[in-house]
Structure 1
Amino acid sequence: MSVSESVGPQALPELKVQVEKILAAAKQQGASACEVEVSVQQGLATSVRQREVETVEFNRDQGFSITLYHGQQKGSASTTATGDAAIQETVAAALAIAKYASPDEFAGLADEHLMAREFPDLDLWHPWDLSPERAIELALECEAAAFATDSRISNADGSSVNTDVGCTIYGNSHGLIAGHAGTRHSISCVMIAEADGNMQRDYWYDYGRRADLLTDAATIGRIAAERTVNRLGARSVSTCDVPVLFAAELAGGLFNSLLGAIAGGNQYRNASFLLGALGQTLFPEWLTLDERPLQPGGLASSAFDGDGLATYAKPFIENGVLVSYMLSTYSGRKLGMPSTANSGGARNLFVTHGDEDQAALLKKMGRGLLVTELMGQGLNMVTGDYSRGAGGYWVENGEIQFPVQEVTIAGNMRDMFKQIVAIGNDLDRRGSVCTGSVLIERMKVAGS
């Protein structure tokens, strides 16, 4: 049976009825306000390794989480059960928690007039009619293509094909009950290469809402193998201050760090290196970072946020200037500012890019480090100090010379943002931030 047959748009009416029951139970038990999220997810995950099937897994998760208020006191509870008894018990548990909680003047639902009213079709439902047998075939095809690419590919660390479908309904005591069904699919490959006593590991993958738009399995295997073989002979470099080019698949992390710093929670806790930075120039004037939550087919598209507020397109960075924090209803109240409809985070971020590909950015860089691997977290959110283990390629005269490993790259995020020289057109659309490779004018590279 296809994983989408019992989970999909056809399940939404039943989930809405469940939300109505939960809201009614909360009111009957004495809650002054309530919000609830009901969800069901189902998927198929397959993996192979060394030409053998390793796993074939079906998964199905369902349940609901509830947050209710007893005046200005808040309580939350969740369960994976779905029956009437579970509803009554979970509501009672949340209400008991609320009655013991300290009053919070900022707690409570968002204002009713801010609730989402329009729910356009965001093109999120694209089920993949994928049988376990076909998923295994694709995973084996991916791995076989990797082994056929180069004789130095000595081992496989897993090729996988996954498909997931899900439905989520949000409702609150203002009368809002809305949700959506969505799909996500992926193909990935991790390989190991060996030559002259040296072993290296690398990967490639694709991920999206539509299976027909994924890179084909054989190509993913070939790219994973090429990346792995190219890592052979990696060595460290002497400590230096040089330009650093973050490959597109890693560059989104730089902007995720920005989002953490401008998130309302870190702002009101005084735990951000961008504390009070609204209106300040943080990036070159040509750079804009904007959110597009209503993007059709977007990986994070939604007509409403986690508080039920209508989402809308907006910039966070405009012409280099920080023009908005990222606020939920609660953090906005703490800061004395309106919510930006970002409860649950940002949705579909797009970064300004130029018309040069990665090869052109290497020419522009001249001499420095192309980073294709990062290790550890390495960001002090309070100071902005950034330090992470890295791997990649050393570049001289705009050309890759040899692979690099066992180095650390370091800088301060404020300096790194200002020193962005260019962003490439090699956009990576597989995550929450759509950006190309990012060239930074100078960072510390600590090696041997």
Structure 2
Amino acid sequence: MTPSLNELSIELEGVKETVADALEQAKKAGASSAECAISRSRGISVGTRMGEVETVEFNQDGALGITVYRGHHKGSASTTDLSAAAIREAVTKANEIANFTSEDPCAGLAPAEFMAHDYPDLDLCHPADQSAEFALQQALDCERHGLAADKRIVNSDGAAYSSHCGYRVYGNTHGFVGGYLQSRHSLSCALIGKEGERMQRDYSYSVARKQHELATPQEVANEAVEETLGRLGARKINTAQVPVIFRADVANSLFGHLVAAISGGNLYRKSSFLLNQKGQQIFPDWLKIDEQPHLVGGLASSPFDTEGVRTQTQSIVDKGVLETYLMSSYTARKLNATPTGHAGGIHNWRVSNQNQSLQELCQTMGTGLLVTELMGQGVNIVNGDYSRGAAGYWVENGVIAYPVEEITIAGNLRDMFKNIVAIGNDVDHRHGVLTGSMLIEQMRVAGH
């Protein structure tokens, strides 16, 4: 049964009381401070393949995690049973563990003055039909459209639909207890095409807070068909140094490496190629990245981080200069810095662009590689070395000439960031980093 928004709101308030009670128990047990979080998600996930139902899963997941501090000694415990007795036992276990852990002077709650006591409603929860009938119809329709679109589509690697809603509550002994509702719906389809004796596979997907904002089954299928057929006849290319465009749906991964490199955990361990680079220019002077955590309905919006620290609009990069590192309270203490509201991740990064379409970026590039898929994990955050398998299209004189496969692209992230020529206006809104396609001046492409 699909829960209503009102039912979820009532449940959320009850869970806030549960968290407050757990914190009170921790104080009575002798903890100098404590924090507690509960997250819960419920929904359905289905999968189909070649018109047959493969999976139907109803999910109802949830857990309480309690951390107590005895000075700088830390103990944690969790339970999926939210009964009063189970929570009391979890608090007791966390206290017992704290008696045996080593003292860590950086352990503890985020400072009280950073708590998000007054936070906005970001409209993140929109429950939808979670019946098996509706979910299966979405996946089956998507796959059916894809298989019927072109005779070169000979098989399906499946379609999937999911719809989930729930909440997150966090509280600590600073007197902060906050929570918010959230939902997420997705639809995807993967197809297999054949030309001659060779076959190719590709896919498409859509994700949204509101079910009606998902791409329709036919739209997802059409894009999957286009991507799959576009790869037929793929060739290898000769090894060369050429300009490279990362299409929007893979360009966000480069900024994901930036996130890792400026996160406090890697910085205090001295395992980042951007160590001591705050205040330095690491991108071209036209590039800007702003974080906007309070975008109404945003996929990566959040009123506070996982430590209750208020999130806020802030500049990450301005005129190519790195403006901030990303700090939790623990890493901030390690580095004698200030928490930035990034415990648990980033919140809606918007990357500036030159208002060029992907086609215009290809024309600017002239001849080079358009990357549409990345494979492998060949990225070294310590020194910035970058090497990954890739597939995409060879571009000649600003026009896509043919698909390419079985290549490797390599460079160093420090150089790649500095040598970004342009970013397009074809922003992919399915990620926490909102960026268009990215043209990099030159990279090494290994083929034959």
Counterparts of 1:9 and 1:257 in 2: how far apart (Å)?
37
| 1:99 aligned partner | 99
Offset at residue 131 of structure 1 (A):
2.4
Counterparts of 1:166 and 1:380 in 2: how far apart (Å)?
36
Counterparts of 1:341 and 1:356 in 2: how far apart (Å)?
33
Alignment of 1:112-261 (within 5 A): 112-261=112-261
1:314-356: per-residue Cα shift (whole Å, max 9, x none)? 0111110001000111111111111111111111111001211
Counterparts of 2:7 and 2:447 in 1: how far apart (Å)?
51
| 1:283 aligned partner | 283
Amino acid at match of 2:245: L
Amino acid at match of 1:171: G
Counterparts of 2:420 and 2:5 in 1: how far apart (Å)?
47
Whether contact under 8 Å (2:5, 2:127) holds in the other structure is no
Amino acid at match of 1:208: A
| 1:43 aligned partner | 43
Whether contact under 8 Å (2:239, 2:444) holds in the other structure is yes
Offset at residue 92 of structure 1 (A):
1.8
Offset at residue 129 of structure 1 (A):
2.3
| 1:396 aligned partner | 396
1:149-201: per-residue Cα shift (whole Å, max 9, x none)? 21010101111111010111100001101100011000100001112110110
Counterparts of 2:426 and 2:369 in 1: how far apart (Å)?
18
Alignment of 1:82-93 (within 5 A): 82-93=82-93
Counterparts of 1:330 and 1:229 in 2: how far apart (Å)?
49
Any stretches of 5+ residues in structure 2 without a counterpart?
none
Instruction: Work out whether 1:334 is the aligned partner of 2:334.
Output: yes
Aligned residues: 448
Instruction: Work out whether 1:19 is the aligned partner of 2:19.
Output: yes
Counterparts of 1:226 and 1:128 in 2: how far apart (Å)?
29
| 2:354 aligned partner | 354
Offset at residue 86 of structure 1 (A):
1.2
Counterparts of 2:14 and 2:240 in 1: how far apart (Å)?
61
Whether contact under 8 Å (2:43, 2:130) holds in the other structure is no
Counterparts of 1:7 and 1:384 in 2: how far apart (Å)?
48
Whether contact under 8 Å (1:355, 1:424) holds in the other structure is yes
Counterparts of 2:222 and 2:186 in 1: how far apart (Å)?
16
Offset at residue 8 of structure 1 (A):
2.1
Counterparts of 2:70 and 2:361 in 1: how far apart (Å)?
57
Offset at residue 112 of structure 1 (A):
1.4
Whether contact under 8 Å (2:241, 2:445) holds in the other structure is yes
Alignment of 1:65-80 (within 5 A): 65-80=65-80
Structure 1 segments (4+ residues) deviating >3 Å: 3-7
| 1:411 aligned partner | 411
Whether contact under 8 Å (1:374, 1:388) holds in the other structure is yes
Counterparts of 2:251 and 2:10 in 1: how far apart (Å)?
38
Superposed CA RMSD: 1.2
Counterparts of 1:3 and 1:235 in 2: how far apart (Å)?
50
1:386-431: per-residue Cα shift (whole Å, max 9, x none)? 0000000111111111111110000000000001011111000101
Amino acid at match of 2:239: T
Offset at residue 10 of structure 1 (A):
2.4
Amino acid at match of 1:18: T
Moved more, 4-13 or 285-294: 4-13
1:3-31: per-residue Cα shift (whole Å, max 9, x none)? 55796222111101110121111112111
Counterparts of 2:142 and 2:273 in 1: how far apart (Å)?
43
Whether contact under 8 Å (1:241, 1:445) holds in the other structure is yes
Corresponding residue SS for 1:373: strand
**Percent of aligned positions with the same letter in both sequences?**
49
Whether contact under 8 Å (1:278, 1:325) holds in the other structure is yes
| 2:316 aligned partner | 316
Corresponding residue SS for 1:136: helix
Whether contact under 8 Å (1:145, 1:219) holds in the other structure is no
Corresponding residue SS for 2:99: helix
Whether contact under 8 Å (1:7, 1:41) holds in the other structure is no
Whether contact under 8 Å (1:2, 1:130) holds in the other structure is yes
Corresponding residue SS for 1:345: coil
Q: TM-score, normalised by structure 1?
A: 0.98
| 2:325 aligned partner | 325
Change (3 A) 1:266 1:212: same
Q: TM-score, normalised by structure 2?
A: 0.98
Counterparts of 1:391 and 1:97 in 2: how far apart (Å)?
50
Counterparts of 1:140 and 1:337 in 2: how far apart (Å)?
52
Amino acid at match of 1:309: V
Whether contact under 8 Å (1:7, 1:165) holds in the other structure is no
| 2:445 aligned partner | 445
Counterparts of 2:195 and 2:326 in 1: how far apart (Å)?
48
Counterparts of 2:84 and 2:427 in 1: how far apart (Å)?
48
Instruction: Work out whether 1:345 is the aligned partner of 2:345.
Output: yes
Corresponding residue SS for 2:370: strand
